[in-house]
Structure 1
Amino acid sequence: MKPLSTLAVILLLSITSSLQGQSRVGTTAAPFLTMGVGAKGSALGHANTVNTSGAEALFWNPANIALKNEGGTYNSGYLSYNQLFVDVNAYASGLVFNISEGKSFGIGLNFLDYGRMDIRTVEQQEGTGATFGAHDLSIGVSYAQNLTESFYFGGTAKLVQQKIYDMTAETFAFDFGFTLLTEYLNGMKLGASINNFGGSMQMDGINAEYLVDVDETSEGNNESVPGRIYMDEWDLPLSFKFGVNVPVVKKDNLEWTILADAHQTNDNDLNLDTGSQLSYVTNTIKFHARAGYKDLFLGNQIDSHFTYGAGFTLKTASNVALGFDFAQVPFEYLGNTTLIDIKLYF
């Protein structure tokens, strides 16, 4: 069976299972995997499955790491910072290298830090003086290549971890994606990705251990039998996206692109993300103004829909380019969040 046919079967089964039964909102582990990484994708309302390139693509569609990036090269580095709420911060980094014609390899890290919190007990409700931390982590390796001159396919294998205090849950997962370049409508692009296809997660650690008196009615028995609390297992947020990128205007130094992603997860309803990008392009500099509207079909279930941002890429005489992206995501009740990306193309 061809890779595209195999992927289509997997996607069909995933969508069918997600549409059956009652809503599963809030029933998966590691929800940070569906947050979206980076200022560019966030400014476009998460409609970034097709529009992404370079090391940023590691977190959206691994097939796109084999495409020529924003700087006109195939090798790139990526750093992203997302200032969220109440001392919660998200970080991402990635590297992509071209290993031969049409083939690229990459490694990406996605890290969400919840900060430090006071340890409180029933006896010391104001705090014991000690603190604990919590984080979410995803680290993966990716490979992509062009199967034809216009069709690109890629995949990622990654470790997913959640940790709070001394408790940890881990599993392995996979991402797959493809992108199709066309000659229609000024070079329309189509693409799809399936993310977080993997095992379930179950918390375990020293805090699950305790001592049990198995027979409190008897005297003289062992009152300290080692026991362990059994934790439930939770699936990962399996996600399917199908995206389209249409350059509506592509003339001289001006480009205007509209984007849309249909998005379905196994823990939420069918959704639509949309975005628009207006670009001024020369041989040495590219400037982008972006806006998006995410989670169109989820309505009042979501606190934030509208997003906006900007970015630029500057090329040097040595065939090296530096990129910078900025985005704001306003929330009705939680305030604004700010995202900043720095990219290096070489």
Structure 2
Amino acid sequence: MNTHTHTSAALLLLTLAFTAAAPLYGQKVGTSSLQFLKVTPTARASAMGDAYSTLAAGSDAVFWNPAGLAVGEQIEVTGTHILWLFDTRQSTLAGSFPLADLGGTVGLHLQYVDYGSIDVTRTDQLAFVGSGPDIHYNPGLTGETFSPSSYVLGISYAQRMTDRFTAGITAKYIRESLWNSATIVLINPTTGAKEEVNTFASLFLFDFGMQYNTGYRSVRIGVSIQNFGEQVKFAKEAFPAPLMFRIGTAADLIGPDALLGASESNRITFAYDLFQPNDYAQQMHLGTEYAFDEAFFVRAGYKVYYDNDSFTAGAGIRQTFTGFPLSIDYSYGAMGDYLPSVHRLSVGVQFK
């Protein structure tokens, strides 16, 4: 492909990106549902401040930019566990499977959120109980609990369109349960009328992504649109899913084909993402990664225009054990002065 065609492809990619992003601006803040879909699902990306739309590759790409699936050349499986806020835990599992006959790559992923157990309270249980020195106030506790949960099942496909341009798509089924996946009966206190209400919702959403290698040194561009589809409906009200648009770029500052200095054993990569959700103002993500012999990694990142998220950091190791490349990545995320830090651990393995 000649230089003119490469340039046209890059311009088309950017034009489509900004065109798709235009409807996202001006939406109401805090009006989307399924907020767990905005939680960073992998350790490497989190450590780099979520500046990952361009760097996403292999099985990790199913969560960020499905186009990155086509970059990987081996079967890869990655699992991540997240210690999130308020005893919430999230686990993900992803796999990428190159198809030699088709020239593309299939990705599969599972994402599960456990919110723990929550005490059931009722207004008719509000009372002082006991007597004498043992008297105490019951704030409505019934002795029952419920366990909200959410999960995602997704399938992706990515194709290398040219030697520099990849594109991908993800279809995913999402289900969120607020009350043990049950249907409850609401009683109107005035009329006594009864109404059955679902405490769960399910829907299909789609992700689209593109990655482009400019051919100049190591400069790359990535674009993704996530969670495109129908609204989420609990009971009578419907809310939009967290539609997210990312456009980013990344380049090696030091490395074999770097902008600033050549090195065979050391690499420093800088990445930048512009992030526009449909329920918040525009935000920016900055990230960097140092690699020694592509075996040991130190990472850091920063998120701009966030209320709580800010500094991130992490490290990783990539070694071959019993003939299989194995990677272990950890990330730390600061959540401001009043919230606990968030920790992520990812483990991945490749199969030849």
Bin for the TM-score computed over the shorter chain: 0.7 to 0.9
Paired with 2:343 and 2:46, the residues of 1 have a C-alpha distance of 10
Equivalent pair of 2:212/2:220 in contact (CA under 8 Å): yes
Q: Aligned ranges for residues 50-89 of structure 1 at < 5 Å?
A: 50-68=54-72, 73-89=73-89
1:270 Cα deviation after fit: 1.4
Q: Residue 311 of structure 1 aligns with which residue?
A: 316
Q: Residue 182 of structure 1 aligns with which residue?
A: 214
1:241 Cα deviation after fit: 0.5
1:172 corresponds, among 204, 207, 210, to: 204
Paired with 1:278 and 1:10, the residues of 2 have a C-alpha distance of 32
Q: Deviations over 1:201-241 (max 9, x none)?
A: 0114xxxxxxxxxxxxxxxxxxxxxxxxxx21101111111
Equivalent pair of 1:324/1:340 in contact (CA under 8 Å): yes
Q: Deviations over 1:239-259 (max 9, x none)?
A: 111111110000121000000
Q: Aligned ranges for residues 203-214 of structure 1 at < 5 Å?
A: 203-204=234-235
Q: Residue 253 of structure 1 aligns with which residue?
A: 265
Q: Residue 258 of structure 2 aligns with which residue?
A: none
Q: Residue 93 of structure 2 aligns with which residue?
A: 93
Is 1:289 paired with 2:298?
A: yes
Paired with 2:278 and 2:140, the residues of 1 have a C-alpha distance of 40
Which segment drifts farther, 244-253 or 101-110?
Answer: 101-110
Equivalent pair of 2:123/2:140 in contact (CA under 8 Å): no
Q: Deviations over 1:278-325 (max 9, x none)?
A: 00016xxx111000001x1x2xx511211000011112463x211000
Equivalent pair of 1:175/1:194 in contact (CA under 8 Å): yes
Equivalent pair of 1:67/1:74 in contact (CA under 8 Å): no
Paired with 1:265 and 1:330, the residues of 2 have a C-alpha distance of 21
Equivalent pair of 2:111/2:152 in contact (CA under 8 Å): yes
Q: Residue 233 of structure 2 aligns with which residue?
A: 202
Q: Aligned ranges for residues 63-142 of structure 1 at < 5 Å?
A: 63-68=67-72, 73-100=73-100, 102-124=103-125, 125-142=139-156
Q: Residue 18 of structure 1 aligns with which residue?
A: 24
Q: Residue 211 of structure 1 aligns with which residue?
A: none
Equivalent pair of 1:62/1:155 in contact (CA under 8 Å): yes
1:150 corresponds, among 155, 160, 164, to: 164
SS at match of 2:147: strand
1:268 Cα deviation after fit: 1.2
Q: Residue 223 of structure 1 aligns with which residue?
A: none
Q: Residue 208 of structure 1 aligns with which residue?
A: none
TM-score by length of 2: 0.81
- State how many pairs are aligned: 304
Paired with 2:110 and 2:146, the residues of 1 have a C-alpha distance of 23
1:75 Cα deviation after fit: 0.8
Is 1:327 paired with 2:331?
A: yes
Please, what is the CA RMSD of the aligned residues? 2.1
After TM superposition, which residue ranges in structure 1, 4 or more long, deviate above 6 angstroms? 2-10
C-alpha spacing 1:4/1:132, structure 2 compared with 1 (3 Å): farther
SS at match of 1:267: coil
SS at match of 2:77: strand
Paired with 1:303 and 1:5, the residues of 2 have a C-alpha distance of 35
* Aligned sequence identity (%): 28
1:14 Cα deviation after fit: 3.8
TM-score by length of 1: 0.83
Aligned amino acid, residue 220 of structure 2: K
Q: Residue 27 of structure 1 aligns with which residue?
A: 31
Aligned amino acid, residue 273 of structure 2: D
1:89 Cα deviation after fit: 0.7
Listed as ranges, the gaps of 5+ residues in structure 2 are 1-7, 126-138, 183-198, 256-262
Equivalent pair of 1:66/1:74 in contact (CA under 8 Å): no
